[in-house]
Amino acid sequence: MSTENTPQARAIALVTAYYDAFNRGDRQAMLALLSDDVAHDLNQGPRETGREAFAAFMQRMDASYRERLEDIVVMATADGTRAAAEYVVHGQYLEDDEGLPPANGQTYVLPGGAFFDIRDGRIARVSNYYNLQDWIAQVG
Protein backbone atom coordinates (compact mmCIF):
# COMPACT_ATOMS: atom_id res chain seq x y z
CA MET A 1 0.00 0.00 0.00
CA SER A 2 1.34 3.42 -0.98
CA THR A 3 1.66 6.02 1.76
CA GLU A 4 1.90 8.95 -0.66
CA ASN A 5 -1.71 10.09 -0.26
CA THR A 6 -2.25 9.55 3.45
CA PRO A 7 -3.19 12.52 5.66
CA GLN A 8 0.28 12.29 7.21
CA ALA A 9 2.03 12.37 3.82
CA ARG A 10 -0.11 15.33 2.69
CA ALA A 11 0.76 17.25 5.87
CA ILE A 12 4.48 16.59 5.36
CA ALA A 13 4.21 17.66 1.71
CA LEU A 14 2.39 20.88 2.73
CA VAL A 15 5.01 21.89 5.29
CA THR A 16 7.81 20.91 2.90
CA ALA A 17 6.24 23.11 0.19
CA TYR A 18 6.06 25.99 2.72
CA TYR A 19 9.78 25.74 3.45
CA ASP A 20 10.67 25.27 -0.22
CA ALA A 21 8.80 28.53 -0.96
CA PHE A 22 10.61 30.23 1.95
CA ASN A 23 14.00 29.20 0.60
CA ARG A 24 13.07 30.41 -2.91
CA GLY A 25 11.98 33.76 -1.46
CA ASP A 26 8.52 33.15 -2.92
CA ARG A 27 6.34 34.85 -0.33
CA GLN A 28 3.19 34.59 -2.46
CA ALA A 29 3.57 30.80 -2.62
CA MET A 30 4.05 30.71 1.17
CA LEU A 31 0.93 32.82 1.74
CA ALA A 32 -1.11 30.58 -0.57
CA LEU A 33 -0.42 27.64 1.76
CA LEU A 34 -1.88 29.45 4.80
CA SER A 35 -5.49 29.60 5.96
CA ASP A 36 -7.08 33.07 5.89
CA ASP A 37 -7.14 33.08 9.71
CA VAL A 38 -3.67 31.59 10.23
CA ALA A 39 -2.31 31.99 13.77
CA HIS A 40 1.37 32.93 13.81
CA ASP A 41 3.17 32.59 17.13
CA LEU A 42 6.36 34.64 16.97
CA ASN A 43 9.37 33.33 18.85
CA GLN A 44 9.18 34.77 22.38
CA GLY A 45 6.53 37.19 21.16
CA PRO A 46 2.83 37.66 20.58
CA ARG A 47 0.42 35.74 18.38
CA GLU A 48 -0.53 37.46 15.14
CA THR A 49 -3.65 36.34 13.29
CA GLY A 50 -4.49 36.38 9.61
CA ARG A 51 -2.74 36.04 6.29
CA GLU A 52 -2.31 39.83 5.98
CA ALA A 53 -0.52 40.01 9.34
CA PHE A 54 1.72 37.14 8.23
CA ALA A 55 2.55 38.96 4.98
CA ALA A 56 3.44 42.12 6.94
CA PHE A 57 5.66 40.06 9.25
CA MET A 58 7.49 38.56 6.28
CA GLN A 59 8.05 42.06 4.82
CA ARG A 60 9.61 43.18 8.12
CA MET A 61 11.79 40.06 8.25
CA ASP A 62 12.91 40.39 4.63
CA ALA A 63 14.01 43.98 5.29
CA SER A 64 16.33 42.95 8.13
CA TYR A 65 17.37 39.37 7.36
CA ARG A 66 18.43 37.12 4.52
CA GLU A 67 17.89 33.52 5.60
CA ARG A 68 18.03 30.03 4.17
CA LEU A 69 16.88 26.94 6.02
CA GLU A 70 18.92 23.74 5.70
CA ASP A 71 18.74 20.23 7.15
CA ILE A 72 14.94 20.48 7.31
CA VAL A 73 13.16 17.50 8.87
CA VAL A 74 9.34 17.46 8.84
CA MET A 75 7.19 15.14 10.94
CA ALA A 76 3.40 14.84 11.11
CA THR A 77 0.70 13.02 13.01
CA ALA A 78 -1.02 10.10 11.34
CA ASP A 79 -4.25 12.11 10.94
CA GLY A 80 -2.35 14.99 9.29
CA THR A 81 -3.71 17.71 11.59
CA ARG A 82 -0.41 18.58 13.26
CA ALA A 83 3.17 18.74 12.08
CA ALA A 84 6.57 19.81 13.32
CA ALA A 85 9.80 20.79 11.63
CA GLU A 86 13.38 21.12 12.75
CA TYR A 87 15.96 22.99 10.72
CA VAL A 88 19.16 25.05 10.77
CA VAL A 89 18.89 28.74 9.83
CA HIS A 90 21.82 30.16 7.87
CA GLY A 91 21.34 33.90 7.89
CA GLN A 92 22.69 37.38 7.51
CA TYR A 93 21.53 40.35 9.58
CA LEU A 94 21.12 43.20 7.07
CA GLU A 95 19.28 46.06 8.78
CA ASP A 96 18.59 46.92 12.42
CA ASP A 97 15.53 45.19 13.88
CA GLU A 98 13.79 47.07 16.69
CA GLY A 99 15.03 46.11 20.14
CA LEU A 100 17.92 44.03 18.83
CA PRO A 101 21.65 44.73 18.35
CA PRO A 102 22.74 46.91 15.41
CA ALA A 103 23.07 45.17 12.06
CA ASN A 104 26.21 45.30 9.95
CA GLY A 105 25.93 42.20 7.79
CA GLN A 106 26.71 39.68 10.54
CA THR A 107 26.14 36.05 9.64
CA TYR A 108 24.67 33.42 11.93
CA VAL A 109 23.85 29.72 12.04
CA LEU A 110 21.04 28.84 14.40
CA PRO A 111 18.96 25.72 15.03
CA GLY A 112 15.23 26.29 15.04
CA GLY A 113 11.90 24.57 14.87
CA ALA A 114 8.23 25.11 14.27
CA PHE A 115 4.91 23.51 15.07
CA PHE A 116 1.93 23.55 12.72
CA ASP A 117 -1.82 23.01 12.85
CA ILE A 118 -3.27 21.91 9.52
CA ARG A 119 -6.89 22.39 8.55
CA ASP A 120 -8.57 21.80 5.17
CA GLY A 121 -5.25 21.31 3.41
CA ARG A 122 -3.74 24.60 4.62
CA ILE A 123 -1.50 25.71 7.45
CA ALA A 124 -3.73 27.15 10.20
CA ARG A 125 -1.01 27.78 12.81
CA VAL A 126 2.76 28.30 12.73
CA SER A 127 4.64 28.52 16.04
CA ASN A 128 8.35 29.28 15.56
CA TYR A 129 11.07 28.63 18.13
CA TYR A 130 14.79 29.39 18.27
CA ASN A 131 17.23 30.46 20.95
CA LEU A 132 17.20 34.26 20.85
CA GLN A 133 20.13 34.52 23.26
CA ASP A 134 22.24 32.33 20.97
CA TRP A 135 21.36 34.58 18.02
CA ILE A 136 22.22 37.73 20.00
CA ALA A 137 25.56 36.20 21.01
CA GLN A 138 26.34 35.46 17.37
CA VAL A 139 25.50 38.94 16.03
CA GLY A 140 26.29 41.06 19.11
**Residue 13 forms part of a structural domain:** yes
**Percent helix, strand and coil across the chain, each to the nearest 5:** 35, 40, 25
With cut-offs at 50, 70 and 90, classify the pLDDT of residue 1.
very low
**Residue 79 forms part of a structural domain:** yes
The pairing of beta strand 34-41 with beta strand 47-49: antiparallel
- The more confident residue out of 110 and 4 is 110
pLDDT of residue 3: 58
With cut-offs at 50, 70 and 90, classify the pLDDT of residue 44.
confident
**Residue 26 forms part of a structural domain:** yes
Distance CA 25, CA 5 (A): 27
Distance CA 109, CA 120 (A): 34
With cut-offs at 50, 70 and 90, classify the pLDDT of residue 24.
very high
List the one residue out of 131, 130, 127, 129 whose CA is nearest residue 41.
127
**Residue 112 pLDDT greater than 50, yes or no:** yes
Can you give the CATH number for the domain in which 31 is found?
3.10.450.50
Question: What's the domain range around 13?
Answer: 7-139
Q: How many domains does the chain have?
A: 1
**Residue 2 forms part of a structural domain:** no
Q: What is the mean pLDDT of residues 34-60?
A: 96
